[in-house]
Amino acid sequence: MTHTTEWKVRLFLFEDEGTTKARVALDTRTTSLTGHGAAYRSPTDPDVPEIGDEVAAGRALRDLARQLLDIAERDIEGMGAATPKREDAPPPLGWPL
């Protein structure tokens, strides 16, 4: 069975006094989600707006991804299937065994 769909994503960036904030909005036609992220520039760091944009946008997209995975896990559990292993878990600290 073939399945094709299109989801609309909009990314908004705002900068104010060394802080870049990002908001990403996802519309699937049945669900709307919003991810948020921010980047903070130290007063001693050079003012490079592109870096703040990248960090804030990346964090907002990561927040959105976490929300989507949470919804998918609930849907999977609702179908009676085992919850899949989370791929976005942080890597272990220290030396590999």
What is the residue-level pLDDT of the chain in tens, covering all 97 positions?
A: 899 999 999 999 999 888 999 999 999 999 999 999 999 988 898 988 999 999 999 999 999 999 999 999 998 888 887 766 666 555 555 554 4
Domains of the chain (ranges, CATH numbers):
8-78 (3.30.160.240)
Distance CA 84, CA 73 (A): 7
* Reported pTM: 0.79
7 backbone dihedrals φ, ψ, rounded to 5°: -110, 140
Cβ-contact 27, 7 below 8 angstroms: yes
Share of the chain above pLDDT 70, in %: 85
CB atoms within 10 A of CB 70: 11
